Structures are given as structure tokens and as C-alpha cells.
Amino acid sequence: MSETNTCSIQARKEDISFGFPGARFGFTEELADKLAAERGVRLRPNETISEIDERGVFVRQANSFITPFGEKEGEFKAEANRYKVYWAHGCHWSNRPVIVRDILGLEDVIDDIATTGTGKYGHGFVDQKDFKDPSTGAYFLSEFYENAKPGFEGRATTPTLVDVIEKKAVNNDYHRLTNYIEVQFRKFQKTDIDLYPKEYRKEIDEFNDWLFPTVNNGHYRMHFCLSWVAYDEAYNDFFAALDKLDERLATNRFIFGDYITDSDVRLYVTLVRWETSYYHNVGPMKKRITEYPNIWGYVKDLFSIPEFRKYTFFEFPKKEFKGHRGWNGSFAERIASQVPYEELWKTDGERKKISSDPENVYLHTDISPEDYQSEISFSKWNLPGWDDRQPRNVSISVDPSINPLKGKLKNKR
């Protein structure tokens, strides 16, 4: 493998510019500049400039707001109608907390809003009245970051959990945010569904922390990297992980057996984006998701569940196809908006046959909210050091093709 040319990487960093997506809502670049100046909003840092190492590897920025929810001093307390999830349609990290929230029946406890792009200033609300977040009056997601941490210079990311009373970002830790919702907000649940069984949190956390660099972030490692070495590593990690998962799902309806857990939410949202959109940005594919028989059946099985289906977006711009362009017309122009996704993604019900409880997809528990509590583990992917977050640091104690909880999840309902 040839060594990376660090000079050429720097040149490519300097040659990258921002696009502007807000025009279709009447939100102009000039207006963005005006509102940003009014609110003191900085330009959004670019991943392919600020998050690339000397080898051309994309090393995702550390999450800035990782204070846990809990009862200890300094931790945030779970309250109803105080917090709001800011998410984006095309961001699989941010689809996770709203899926989990809806499964657990917390829609009336934790509010949400989907952000829209503002171009060089990142996430905003250009599809809302007066281009403002209705509950806080903010024009840009980064305003909440500045309110919480004056002088903040990183990227404001989705998902972000915001205290809408204080108008401050409190948590953007996609590694553990769903776990805080599952555990700390348990007392507000309208259902007895258990996505994060207390006795098996160690195994779930370990799997999730393996899934992050290999699959969840695997796409971005290919998309944002600036060298062949980095691309090749990410490509091999991603497809090797899918091979492992396809083997595992041959005998497990879901990742840990008969019932959906937090891990299934994390895997599903990435697979959906990859199959319908993300692959456009990364070059040749070894396989489509549809070519993995067990993964493809698994994705369709989850798509049939309302809470997953609601946050699955087959949205493509219906561009006018200029016939004279002939074979130069892109797939997005010619075909994408015509694909019958709803029909193609229908499940045939075959995966029920590998479950011992085929009519139930959720684990139910009678454990009290107080007994359900535990300290949520810290993810090593939140360590501040650049070297600590290198994707090559991935590890897992049990081969991912093996379900260490096989037969252990039992429905108490």
C-alpha cells in the first residue's frame, strides 16, 4: 500500500466549498448571512477540512455535550416538556432518538423538530414560518450551542437534545442519547416496552460501540476521507461487518434474538440510508443491501413496523429530465423519484419463522422505573483525544456474527 501524500490532502482540503440548499424555501444566501450576523453565528466547520488526519482518514469530531442524565450532582434530570430533539431527515444518527421515543410512547414528553439546511451555517429552520424554530425563535441550531458553551467552534450536529426553557444544547451524544431516553425517561413511558434490558446492557453497549466505526460511521469514513488508504480501510471494514451481520441474522430475527433492542434501531437507520441514498457518494459497491439475504429480510421486517416506517424517507428531488442529455442524465434525474419503494420494501413475513415468539417484536417488562435505572456506560468514541477516536481502535469480545444473548431475552408479558 502506497504512503499517503499529505501535501495533496492539504491541497484538497483547501479546494472544498459549501453548497446552498435553502433556496427552494425562499431562504437566500444573503438572508442567511444577515441572520447569522444578527445572532453572532459562525460558519459551520467542514468535515473534510477540520476532521481529516495526516493519512487522509476521517476522524469524526468528539461530541461536545455528553453530560449524562441521572440523579447525581451535575447530571441532567429527566423532565416532561422541557427537552426537544432536533433531528434531520437525511441524518441517520438523528433518526434514532425519535424512533426510540415513539416506540416508548414518549411523544408527549419529549418534543421534536426536523431541521433543514441553511448552507454554510449548518442546520436551521428554513421551512418554518419566518425561518425560525417555533418554540425558541432560533434561526440556527448552533445558537443553542453558543448559549450553552460561549465561543463554541465545532459543528452543531443532529441529533441535539435542547432545553427549550433555557434555550441551550444539553446533549448531542448520539452514542448514548437513546439510552438516556430509554432509562432516565422510563417513568414517563406509556408502554412497558423494553429496548435496553438492564441485565444485558454491557453486551448491547459493546455491540453498539463496535457498530459505530464499522457500519454507522463506515459510510462517512468512505464519503469524507481524502486518500485511497483511508477509503480502502473503511470500505473493507464496512463490508466485512455486513458479512458478519448477515451471518448473525440467519438465525436471529433481530440482533439479539426474538425482540428489537436499541441496537436494531442503530443498524436499521444506517442500512436504509445506504441502500437508498448514501451509496451515491462513495463509489463502487461490493454489494447492495438487497444482496444480503438475511439483512435484506431484516430491513424489510423492521420497515413494516410503524415507528420505523415513519422515519424512513424515500425523498428525492423530482428534477426535470433533459432528454437531450441522453446517457449523461443521472439516476437521480431519470429514475430515483419513480422507484416504488413502498412495494419493494414489503416484508413477506418469512423472518417470523426464526422467532420463538413470532407475533411479538418487542420485549415487555414489569420492572419498576426505579429498578430499571443504572449508570449508562461511557463510550470510548467520546474520548477527546484524536488518537483515541481513530476507527482502527475498534474492538469487540465476541465475534459479531454470534449472538451472545441467544435465547436469553424472555418476554415477561
Residue 243 has what DSSP assignment? H
Neighbouring CB atoms inside 10 A of 204's CB total 21
DSSP 191-256: S-B-SS-GGGHHHHHHHHHHHIIIIITHHHHHHH--SHHHHHHHHHHHHHHHHHHHHHTTS-SBTT
- Main-chain phi, psi angles of 48, to 5 degrees: -80, 10
Cβ-proximal residues to 302 (8 Å cutoff; 6+ apart), any chain? 260, 264, 268, 308
Give residue 153's identity as a one-letter amino acid code: E
Residue 19, pLDDT score? 45
Give the integer Cα–Cα distance in Å for 394 and 412: 34
* CB 160, CB 154: distance < 8 Å: no
Residue 118, pLDDT score? 94
Give the integer Cα–Cα distance in Å for 398 and 203: 9
What Å distances lie between residue 389 and 52, 57, 63, CA to CA? 12, 11, 11
Q: Is the pTM of this model over 0.95?
A: no
> How wide is the angle at C-alpha 304 spanned by C-alphas 303 and 309, nearest 5°?
50
Give the distance between the most distant pair of CA atoms in the chain.
Answer: 67
Residue where the block lists cell 461530541: 63
Give the integer Cα–Cα distance in Å for 315 and 339: 10
Q: Residue 236 has which C-alpha cell?
A: 473493507
Query: What is the tens place of the pLDDT at every residue in 123-182?
Result: 999 999 999 999 999 999 999 999 999 999 999 999 999 999 999 999 999 999 999 999
Q: Which residues of the chain have pLDDT under 50?
A: 1-3, 11-19, 321
Q: How far is CA 100 from the centre of its chain?
A: 12
Give residue 7's identity as a one-letter amino acid code: C
Go through the domains of the chain in sequence order and give each one's CATH number: 6-178 (3.40.30.10), 183-393 (1.20.1050.10)
Residue 14, pLDDT score? 46
- Main-chain phi, psi angles of 403, to 5 degrees: -90, 105
Classify the C-alpha dihedral 376-380-386-392 as positive or negative: negative
Residue 10, pLDDT score? 54
Neighbouring CB atoms inside 10 A of 33's CB total 14
Residue 413, pLDDT score? 58
* CB 67, CB 148: distance < 8 Å: no
